[in-house]
Amino acid sequence: MQDQRVPGSKTAAIASSASSASSASSAPDAILETHRLVKEFNGFVAVDGVSLCVRRGDIHALIGPNGAGKTTLFNLLTKFLQPSSGEILFRGENITRRAPAEIARGGIARSFQISAVFPNLTALENVRVALQRALGTSFYFWRSGKSLARLDERAMHLLGEVGLVGRALTPAADLAYGSKRALELATTLALEPELMLLDEPTQGMGHEDVARVTGLIRAVSAGRTVLMVEHNMKVVSTIADNISVLQRGRVIADGPYAEVARNPQVIEAYMGTEATALADGAGIPPAGTP
């Protein structure tokens, strides 16, 4: 029988969750926290009491098998979905009921699994569009494109951060996949976020592009905090300061990579070759090996 993830005494659990969350205080070094976050879809519990703490300045990875609830959690954090119960704190402020636009303006920016750039605009134009918010002209569609020329210097600087200065005038549609992801990083940086949420940034890439984007994430994280969903364990082991593991909507482990990779619950959740990849990523033998 399929697991429906319906917790026992659901009403009481949700009431307890809301009570605990409202009385919870923010950790001093945390930029983002969730307290007993729950999301239900017609009785199916996709996110089940998740309490997460992302430290300021860290690269924090969120990993787990397919269907663990990672993207649903991202959608809750950026308010594409409203939680059934629980709280979300950003810089100690409760943002649980804020709209997605408020979240973005407040310092949280997100990239998606599928590259989201304007294919018919050049790399430079894509970044300028992201920078328009600073001018307060985002909806002035009747103005000439020349009015955005003042943004060129900043846009080129951001393209330089992701290694795309030489492709500034190239239409996004003509960029290689890895370069499109790099461009998406540049447009995300244009929002000047304190916290970047990256949803599978290396998905579908070859080895060279994975190495390049991994290096870019490390570089752009300077002075920022990154929370990312990632399936590539080598990437996670290389750059993540802390890792949270989701299974069936619940956090089953949290800590540094080497510690998490030895956790029996994590190994059981991944099983087989994925568990081996988890251990190999940290260069350590699996649990139980002398």
- CA dist., res. 229 & res. 244, Å (int): 10
How confident is the model over 200-258, as pLDDT tens digits? 888 888 888 899 889 999 988 988 999 999 989 899 999 999 999 999 999 999 999 98
Residue 68's DSSP bridge partners are none
Query: How confident is the model over 244-288, as pLDDT tens digits?
Result: 999 999 999 999 998 998 888 888 887 555 555 666 665 554 444
Using CA atoms, how far residue 252 sits from 65, 126, 210, 240, in Å, is: 12, 39, 27, 17
> How big is the CA angle at 55 (ends 246 and 86), to the nearest 5 degrees?
55
pLDDT score at 113: 57
State the DSSP string of 39-98: EEETTEEEEEEEEEEEETT-EEEEE-STTSSHHHHHHHHTTSS--SEEEEEETTEE-TT-
**Residues above pLDDT 70, as percent of the chain:** 77
Please name each of the domains of the chain with its CATH number: 56-80+98-281 (3.40.50.300)
Among 20-29, 34-43, 159-168, 232-241, the range scoring the smallest mean pLDDT is: 20-29
Give the torsion sign (CA, 174, 179, 183, 188).
positive
Can you tell me the distance from the alpha carbon of 168 to that of 160, in angstroms, rounded to the nearest whole number?
9
Task: Give tens-digit pLDDT for 51-63.
Answer: 999 999 999 999 9
